Amino acid sequence: MKVYITYFVHGTTTDNEKGISSGWSDAKLSELGIKQAIELKEKVKGKKFDIVFCSDLKRAVDSAKLTWGNAVPTVRDERLRECNYGDLNGTNSEKVDELMEKHVNEPFPNGESYKDVEKRIQSFLKDLVKNYSGKHIAIVAHRAPQLALDVVIKGKSWQQAMKEDWRLKKAWQPGWEYIFES
């Protein structure tokens, strides 16, 4: 039983442009983010998705709507949320980035750890393979869930996934491919 996944990050937010890590705060797409989500529609033209799953945070929901509209069924799933940075939701991204490795196992104050995100993603993937085996799905979400896919599906350590994160190299692409088998 396997599921084919193409992972997309939400468009740029007003927080991203200010150097803020939103976490569980509901940030809005910026003008650039809106443009990115609309342009993504053209970049995925010709790819068939059976369903789109997105985080329930506004920036992911809006990105999915702008890209697919009503062309593909879309389901919001809170398990695809960004890491809950707790007291650091909505604060300086450099500060959050500096603390990432420290919080692989230890939760952010009043938040969660990256291992907690990994557990959410494992639960999501278990349901995916049970309900969508053989299907091609799109996911629109955030940084931590994507890193968790690298850990769960590709077998990377959290440290390796963080070190190889495309964001560090500014190496965005229109979708990352994963195959999950159970």
**Token pair in block for residue 91:** 């604060």
Q: Catalytic: 10?
A: yes
- At 91, give phi and psi (nearest 5°): -115, 180
**Token pair in block for residue 99:** 């603390």
Give the Å distances, CA to CA, from 36 to 42, 55, 66, 151. Answer: 10, 17, 9, 27
How many residues are there in the chain?
A: 182
- At 2, give phi and psi (nearest 5°): -140, 155
Of the candidates 10, 103, 118, 142, the residue annotated as catalytic is 10
Of the candidates 39, 42, 82, 142, the residue annotated as catalytic is 82
Q: Name residue 140's beta-bridge partners.
A: 8, 54
Q: Name residue 5's beta-bridge partners.
A: 137, 178
Q: Catalytic: 101?
A: no
- Nearest Cα to 175, choosing from 13, 27, 32, 52? 52
Q: Are 159 and 98 in contact (CB under 8 A)?
A: no
Q: Which residue has the tokens 């938040």?
A: 111
Q: Which residues are catalytic?
A: 10, 82
